[in-house]
Amino acid sequence: MTQRTDAFPELQRDLRFFPLGVDQPEQLSTEQIEQYNDKGYVFPIDIFSQSEIESIRGYFDELLPKALEAGWNSYELTNWHKHCQGVWDIVTDCRILDIMEDMLGETVILRHSHFFAKLPGDGMRVSWHQDASYWPITPSKVVSAWLAIDDSDLGNGAMQVIPGSHLKAQVEFRDSTAEEHNVLNQTVEEPEEHGDPPVALELKAGQISLHSDWVLHGSEPNDSSRRRCGLAMRYLSKDVRAYNGWNENSIICRGEEPTGHWAHHPRPDGELIPVKDGSGDPTSVSMEQRDGGNGVRR
């Protein structure tokens, strides 16, 4: 199968890894920032208390069946911070933003949010890939925070990374095959050729991991009887530019972005479910309309 090294050659993106981190971090340690730049990831980082993550899990437990009813699958809840107060509140939580400010500086922009809910025995994996390979943005100065809504371990398909692979930046990939049952559509073969042996980012619910947009990562199917749900949040610095409309779903979480390149979505008025109609175009219906007035609130 044909190998490629650039999904968007026409954009002439800067396909390099850029070390991140401010000189005087306040939440992360210097060692954690060095770990991120040297290995491509940091974990675990405590964020939410047990009671807080139980509330978030309960919120998602209400959200997911409504999303399924609206036509989405458990891997398609993308950028719902634009529609749902509860999601917006998570991605703008001050504790997460404090960490991102240590990595990115005083201006922090959320570009993307994505729930990944691996249901027990659903057979889906995430093949080895690099996030930056998918994204029509440049330069690659993006930090992904992955929040464990459920406990995440190898038994239920935790994320694994190839330490040090981010230093190579873009590596060859191919289109995924149907037999892989890949949630995404790119696959990097022989990942250990690009770094150290895999490390599983096992997390307790309420913890986050950070990973570079260039580090190779993936996860195996969830063969357990337990769900594995997480929320991936992609934050970037203000000098990043996007193409193909990828600047339209953002939140200016901290600081200023005077050029107007990045959209800013304020906190939604309520909880809306984007409905996937037959054409694939989303429309919004409120939770209140769908459940007779008992909308989810946190």
What number is the average pLDDT over the span 189-216? 97
Q: Does domain 9-268 have CATH number 3.40.50.720?
A: no
Bridge partners of residue 77, in order along the sequence: 115
pLDDT of residue 52 exceeding 80, the answer is yes
pLDDT of residue 7 exceeding 60, the answer is yes
Please report, for the chain, the start and end positions of each structural domain, with discontinuous segments joined by +: 9-268
| 259: exposed, middle or buried (Cβ count in 10 Å: 0-12, 13-18, 19+) | exposed
Give the global pTM.
0.91
Which has the closest alpha carbon to 185: 236, 124, 272? 124
pLDDT of residue 1 exceeding 50, the answer is yes
Q: What is the dihedral of CA 205, 49, 99, 212, to 10 degrees?
A: 0
What is the tens place of the pLDDT at every residue in 212-270?
999 999 999 999 999 999 999 999 999 999 999 999 999 999 999 989 999 999 999 99
What number is the average pLDDT over the span 146-166? 97
Which has the closest alpha carbon to 127: 66, 56, 181? 181
> What sign does the dihedral 62-65-66-67 (CA atoms) show?
positive
How far apart are alpha carbons 240 and 271 in whole angstroms?
Answer: 30
Most confident of the ranges 47-56, 167-176, 279-288: 47-56
